[in-house]
Amino acid sequence: MGTRTISLALAMLMLTGTLITPALADDPESNEPVWEWPEPLPPQDDYVLGDSLLHIYGPISASSNISATWVTNISLRDDYGVDLLPDRALGVRAQIDQHLGDGDGWLSIPEIADFVSLVEDARNLTDSESLGCCVVDYLPLQMSKGMEVIVIPPANGSVESNGSWGWMESAELSGVTDSRTTRILDVPRVGGVLE
């Protein structure tokens, strides 16, 4: 298990009180790997919970290269809809069933797998501004090694069930500062979950 996965698992431990790590299992019947998802998150009172950490390494001086790490953990109630699918007022379970599934009132594993892919694709971003992280000296930081996203999906079962789901993400960022003596760190505000 990589250090980033361990860091994310420990961050999720602090957030939820349970250790959650993704596992990749081999399916002997297929050449394709099969994801074994972490246990669903426990129900929560707040619609959205989470935290984010931006760690900038070294001094931030004029006309210099900077590097940073961004880590965030988000959990949402199942009755809170997402803007990735239509009919947000229905809640995420009904959204998945109606727009990624067969509308039978039951979340199946294939429907959940499609939702996990949708979230992973939506969070496959290229810079710190689109992440909801930050802008330094009016310029976004760029991904150094890509984005790591781990989705803890809603549990399969009735769309009437209410638990929680969420995701963890991390990225290594790099950029340059301008020639002014004062640095400007801007946190974009767009009204999204990541604020």
> How far apart, in whole angstroms, are the C-alpha atoms of residue 104 and residue 82?
20
Q: In what order do the strands lie in the sheet with 65-77?
A: 48-57, 65-77, 164-176, 142-152
181/90 Cα distance (integer angstroms): 50
| pLDDT tops 90 at residue 192 | no
The pair of structure tokens assigned to 10 is: 């420990």
Q: pLDDT grade, residue 167 (50/70/90)? A: very high
Domain residue ranges of the chain, discontinuous segments joined by +: 3-186
Burial 90-114 (b: 16+ CB within 10 A, else e): bbbbbbbbbbbbeeeebbbeebbee
Phi, psi for residue 169 in degrees, rounded to 5? -145, 155
The answer to whether residues 138 and 184 touch, using CB atoms and an 8 Å cutoff, is yes
Q: Is the pLDDT of residue 181 over 50?
A: yes
Q: Which of 127, 121, 97 has the alpha carbon at shortest distance from 109?
A: 97
Q: What is the per-residue pLDDT for 34?
A: 64
| Other beta carbons less than 10 A from residue 2's beta carbon | 8
Q: How confident is the model at residue 191 (pLDDT cuts 50, 70, 90)?
A: low
Residues 6+ apart with CB under 8 A from 125: 131, 143, 147
pTM: 0.78
Average pLDDT, the chain: 83
Strand partners, 80: none
pLDDT higher than 80, residue 110: yes
Span 79-96, pLDDT tens digits: 999 999 999 999 999 999
CA distance 142 to 136: 11
